[in-house]
C-alpha cells in the first residue's frame, strides 16, 4: 500500500485537490507500476504560521 503525503498551504478547492490526487496517482502508476486503487494520497493543509523556511515563518514573508 504505497502512500503519497502532500503538505501544502490551505486555499485549494476540492476540485483542485481531486485533480491533484488523480495526477499523483496516474504519475505513480506510470513510473512505478502497480494498481492505482491501492495507492493512498494524504493531503495535509498547514497554516502559514505553522511553516518555517530559512528561519522565518511563512506568515511573516
| 42 vs 37: CA distance, rounded Å | 14
Q: What is the dihedral of CA 5, 7, 11, 13, to 10 degrees?
A: -10
The answer to whether 10 is a known catalytic residue is no
Q: Single out the catalytic residue among 2, 12, 29, 41.
A: 2
* CA–centroid distance for 4 within its chain: 7
| Residues forming the active site | 2
Amino acid at each position: 500500500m504505497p502512500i503519497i503525503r502532500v503538505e501544502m498551504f490551505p486555499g485549494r478547492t476540492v476540485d483542485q485537490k481531486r485533480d491533484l490526487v488523480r495526477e499523483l496517482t496516474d504519475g505513480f502508476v506510470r513510473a512505478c507500476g502497480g494498481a492505482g486503487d491501492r495507492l493512498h494520497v494524504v493531503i495535509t493543509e498547514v497554516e502559514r504560521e505553522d511553516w518555517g523556511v530559512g528561519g522565518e515563518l511563512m506568515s511573516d514573508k
